[in-house]
Structure 1
Amino acid sequence: MGISIWQLLIVLLIVVLLFGTKRLKSLGGDLGTAIKGFKSAVSDDEKKDDTDTDADFDQQKQVEQRQNTTDTDVTKTTDKESR
């Protein structure tokens, strides 16, 4: 029913004979690099999610940016009119 240790060793021997140790080593290194990259990306996303703010705060920030832009436009218009 289950796979014995001898069956696993035979399968491993066949894989090593087919692909060679160098190719298996490079494949293992590539797989390890891919897993590290994936973990790094997931942890970066989690950190990014933790630093996100409330929608209310974002909305207030946008309103303040619009007000600053409007104030700047009014100042530019006043400067042009005074010239």
Structure 2
Amino acid sequence: MGSMSIWHWLIVLAVVLVLFGGGSKISSLMGDFGKGLKSFKKNIAEDDTPAQPTQVTQDASYHAPQPGSVSAAAEPVVREPARPV
């Protein structure tokens, strides 16, 4: 009762083959699993490396607002409260 006999293993193998349809599907599933695992490990290794600092340059067409001036985008938008129907 504690261990499975050879007949139990053969029945389990037959059920697995019926569910998964033979060797080609199982091998493709395992190949896809291996590729996914390899990609996961690669991405984890890339995340561990420190990022290279990038140099920020300003666009020549960008003009910073002068101190004391107020632009239209900086003004708050005031909306009327919703009225019950």
Q: TM-score range by the shorter chain?
A: 0.3 to 0.5
Q: TM-score, normalised to structure 2's length?
A: 0.47
**Larger Cα Rg: Structure 1 or Structure 2?**
2
Could you say which structure has the higher helix fraction? 1
TM-score, normalised on structure 1?
Answer: 0.48
Greater RCO (Cα-Cα under 8 Å, separation 6 or more): 1
